[in-house]
Amino acid sequence: MVQLSRICFRKYGNFVDNLRLYARGGSGGMGLPRLGGRGGNGGDVWVVATKNITLKRIKDKYPHKRFVAGAGANSSVHALRGERGEDKEILAPVGITVTTDDGKVIGDLNADGDRLMVAKGGPGGSFHSGFEPRKGKAKHIRLDLKLIADLGLVGFPNAGKSSLLTALSNATPQIANYAFTTLKPEIGKLMYSDHKQISVADLPGLIEGAHMNKGMGHKFLKHVERTKQLLFVVDVCGFQLASKTPFRSAFEAVQLLTKELELYKEELVSKPALLVVNKMDLPDAEDKLAELTEQLQNPDEFCDLLPDDMIPKNYMTFRHVVPVSAANGFGMEHLKTCIRESIDEDAEMTSKATHQHRLQALRLHSLKHM
């Protein structure tokens, strides 16, 4: 059995996860009418995903948040075709979604080196334009950072998510180098003895109504979008956020978490998921776990405990339900194994799908050239 050797983690503060910028392509150069000369095109503005860059660094380095590409050179007797203007690059973190001001997605940058043009330069003056150049395109854009991790911990406050990450550590934590920052999360990196690494994001606790942007609302939920799998964490004995809020059992907590994800973006509940039932060291925990297990097997019979508008359209199907105690370490080794199995299963499926896609592309290529 592959054993987990250690987990590295880092807390982030002073975060920036959304930034509004102005981008303008360079103007084209003048044409030369008497010799039919063509002016150079203006440069373009690109957003480029780059390691070790944060949105805060962009904000600090460019306080005016203006990015303008170079103008194209005018046509002249010595150079009838003017040189093209210089492109402008905005170096941004990996995990960025670039949108217009009204929320339209221009594109995503998911890997180091990914590039996206956000403002095209104007064409140089030529015969067709009466040798008059045009200005470059200009627009305001938003860089929206969404966390990329293998696993995202999902749970209400006091479910024990942070304790769980700490309990998974059995060596001196080391600082992991992450280029992104979020809402003061704790980013864990599980490192196994065969050098396999699995990243885990402990994101801020949800509250009921998060989909309506209550509490941390969308600032939390958007970071769930790019985690490959979800790790639900619930208190086996249930919880009550405050004296004025209703008590919720572990089963109700699972369904409310599912509903919050569903109401924000329905496809989130189709992600592979594991359920961690925490605080098994508490009195009556075994009885509560047995009750939860029965309820999860027949959710329709028990959902009358919830308000109608908080019953999920689709119930989560968990690959593993793992009882643990972050306080005394019970179940931790089994949880590590289950996490590894689930991640490896997805990696194998992705590898097979990629292989099939390549084979199909080769067959189509061969048929075209027969």
Could you report the average pLDDT of every consecutive run of 10 residues in the chain (370 residues)?
Answer: 42 65 97 94 97 88 95 94 96 90 89 94 95 96 83 82 71 32 57 82 59 49 80 91 81 91 87 95 95 94 84 92 93 92 87 73 68
Q: Which pLDDT value is given to residue 43?
A: 97
Burial 82-106 (b: 16+ CB within 10 A, else e): bbbbebbebebbbbbbbbeeeeeee
- Residue 176: CB atoms within 10 Å: 15
What angle, 0 to 180 degrees and rounded to 10, lies between the N-to-C axes of helices 161-168 and 332-368?
A: 90
- pLDDT at residue number 370: 58
Q: Where are the domains of the chain?
A: 18-145, 147-350
Topology classification of domain 147-350: Rossmann fold (3.40.50)
CATH topology of domain 18-145: Spo0b-associated Gtp-binding Protein; Chain: A, (2.70.210)
Are both 18-145 and 147-350 of the same fold? no
> pTM of the prediction?
0.67
Strands 138-145 and 18-24 come out as: antiparallel
